[in-house]
Amino acid sequence: MNKNRLEAFSDGVMAIILTIMVLEIKVPEGHDFATLQKVFPIFLSYILSFIYIGIYWNNHHHMLHSMTKVNGKILWANLHLLFWLSLVPVATGWIGETHFAKIPMALYGFMLLMAGVAYYILQGIIIKSQGENSLLKKAIGKDIKGNASPILYVIGIAFSFYSEWLAGAVYIFVALMWLVPDKRIERVIE
């Protein structure tokens, strides 16, 4: 299979995820600021999840750009990642509708953790398929952000049972860590 087909499919799934998320935001019934306050938590959850999908889309693009070939393991690992990302609209809607309640925040963190694990698995399979001279392996190096993210997600999940706002702060912190596009792969490929 051509890697362009894999990238196009993944891009399409991520675009659908973003579309579903925005369609979950209902038009306020009213014309004053009090009406907007009702949808504000939903809008905040949408912003955070939009940023996360954008981060995954950006880094996924760079990771696939480093590949030279696609095999069945890569296809299945990519589907595994897309599965967890496809749950983002559900988790986003739940935290927004419940005004960031404890259990929905824990589930949101679990979904982020599993998407991160799936990304790590896909990254490892791509590196293994490329062999010892893997461009991706050279690019990621020690991968401090990649190793810290799952630990922070687990901390956020634990925090969600005590303070959903602390959990949210952890999830926002991880997003901010990744918000600046990762230039490591670009540097190695160029």
Structural domain of residue 84, as residue ranges? 3-189
pLDDT digits (tens, 9 = 90+) for 174-184: 999 998 766 66
Tell me if residue 144 falls in helix, strand or coil: helix
Confirm if 41 and 96 have CB atoms less than 8 A apart: yes
Burial of 166 (0-12, 13-18, 19+ CB in 10 A): middle
36 vs 72: which has the higher pLDDT = 72
Average pLDDT over residues 159-173: 96
Question: Would you state the pLDDT for residue 134?
Answer: 83
What is the tally of structural domains in the chain? 1
Residue 168: Cβ-neighbour burial (10 angstroms; 0-12, 13-18, 19+): buried
Mean pLDDT check: name the lowest of 6-15, 66-75, 88-97, 111-120.
Answer: 66-75
